[in-house]
Amino acid sequence: MMTNKQPLSQRLSWLIPTIYIVFLLLPIYWLVNMSFKETSEILSTFSLWPQNPTLRNYTVIFTDPSWYSGYINSITYVVLNTLISVSVALPAAYAFSRYRFLGDKHLFFWLLTNRMAPPAVFALPFFQLYSAFGLIDTHIAVAIAHCLFNVPLAVWILEGFMSGVPKEIDETAYIDGYSFPRFFVKIFVPLIASGIGVAAFFCFMFSWVELLIARTLTTTDAKPIAATMTRTVSASGLDWGVLAAAGVLTIIPGALVIYFVRNYIAKGFALGRV
Amino acid sequence: MEKTWNNKAWFMVLPVLVLVAFSAVIPLMTVVNYSVQDTFGNNEFFWAGTDWFLDVLESDRFWDALTRNLIFSAIILAIEIPLGIVIALNMPKKGIGVPICLVLMALPLLIPWNVVGTIWQVFGRVDIGLLGRTLASLGINYNYVQNPLDAWVTLIIMDVWHWTSLVVLLCYAGLVSIPDAYYQAAKIDGASRWSVFRYIQLPKMKRVLLIAFLLRFMDSFMIYTEPFVVTGGGPGNSTTFLSIDLVKMAIGQFDLGPAAALSIIYFLIILLLSWIFYTVMTTSDAQG
Instruction: Note the pLDDT tens digit of each residue in B101-144.
Output: 889 999 999 898 888 998 998 888 888 888 888 888 888 888 88
Average confidence (pLDDT) over A137-160:
91
Q: Is residue A56 part of a domain?
A: no
By Cβ distance, the residue of A96, A167, A211 closest to B225 is A211
- Chain B residues with CB inside 8 Å of A161's CB? none
Under an 8 A CB cutoff, do A274 and B211 touch?
yes
Strands B4-5 and A99-100: parallel
Q: Is residue A88 part of a domain?
A: yes
Q: Is residue A65 part of a domain?
A: no
Cβ proximity of A158 and A272 under 8 Å? yes
Q: Are residues A202 and A242 in the same domain?
A: yes
Q: Is residue A55 part of a domain?
A: no
**In chain A, % of residues over pLDDT 70:** 93
Q: Are residues A253 and A187 in the same domain?
A: yes
Cα distance between residue B105 and residue B102, in whole Å: 5
- Chain A residues with CB inside 8 Å of B121's CB? 233
Residue B84: pLDDT band by 50, 70, 90 thresholds? very high
Q: Are residues A261 and A150 in the same domain?
A: yes
pTM more than 0.90: no
Q: What does the pLDDT read at residue A3?
A: 47
Q: What does the pLDDT read at residue B283?
A: 80
Cβ proximity of B228 and B117 under 8 Å? yes
Preceding amide of A125 cis, omega within 30: no
Q: What are phi and psi of B4, to 5 degrees?
A: -90, 150
Q: Are residues A256 and A218 in the same domain?
A: yes
Q: Are residues A87 and A22 in the same domain?
A: no
Cα distance between residue A9 and residue A1, in whole Å: 16
Q: How far is A77 from chain B (nearest CA, A)?
A: 15
Under an 8 A CB cutoff, do B242 and A266 touch?
no
Is B108's Cβ below 8 Å from some Cβ in A? yes
Buried b (16+ CB within 10 A) or exposed e, B235-273: beeebbbbbbbbbbbbbeeebbbbbbbbbbbbbebbeeb
Q: Taking the C-alpha atoms of A187, A189, A190 and A192 in order, what is their torsion angle to the nearest 10 degrees?
A: 120
Q: Are residues A260 and A126 in the same domain?
A: yes
By Cβ distance, the residue of A92, A99, A273 closest to B211 is A273
Strands B45-47 and A99-100: unpaired
The interface residues of chain B toward chain A in range 44-83, judged by CB-CB distance below 8 A, are none
Under an 8 A CB cutoff, do A259 and B211 touch?
no
- CATH architecture of the domain B20-287 equals Orthogonal Bundle (1.10)
Is B26's Cβ below 8 Å from some Cβ in A? yes
Under an 8 A CB cutoff, do A123 and B102 touch?
no
- Chain B residues with CB inside 8 Å of A122's CB? 24, 27
ipTM over 0.90: no
Q: Is residue A2 part of a domain?
A: no
Q: What are phi and psi of A54, to 5 degrees?
A: -140, 150
The interface residues of chain B toward chain A in range 220-249, judged by CB-CB distance below 8 A, are 221-222, 224-225, 229, 242-244, 246-247
Structural domain tally of chain A? 2
Largest CA distance in chain A: 75
3-state helix, strand, coil in chain B (%, to 5): 75, 5, 20
Owning domain of residue A21? 9-44
pLDDT single digits (tens) B192-204: 888 888 888 888 8
End-to-end CA distance of chain A: 32
| CATH, residue A161 | 1.10.3720.10
- A:B CB pairs within 8 Å: 281
Q: Is residue A221 part of a domain?
A: yes
**Domain extent listing, chain B:** 20-287
pLDDT single digits (tens) A85-138: 999 999 999 999 888 888 888 888 888 888 888 888 888 888 888 888 888 889
Under an 8 A CB cutoff, do A91 and B101 touch?
no
Under an 8 A CB cutoff, do A20 and B105 touch?
yes
Q: What are phi and psi of A141, to 5 degrees?
A: -60, -50
Q: Are residues A198 and A88 in the same domain?
A: yes
Q: Are residues A17 and A85 in the same domain?
A: no
**Which residue of B16, B100, B125, B137 to mutate against A (max A Cβ within 10 Å)?**
B16
- Chain A residues with CB inside 8 Å of B208's CB? 266, 270, 274
Average confidence (pLDDT) over A213-224:
85
By Cβ distance, the residue of B91, B104, B222 closest to A120 is B222
- Which residues pair with residue A99 across a beta bridge? B4
| Residue B275: partners with Cβ closer than 8 Å, 6 or more residues away | A109
pLDDT higher than threshold 70 for residue A236: no
Mean pLDDT score of chain A, rounded to an integer? 85
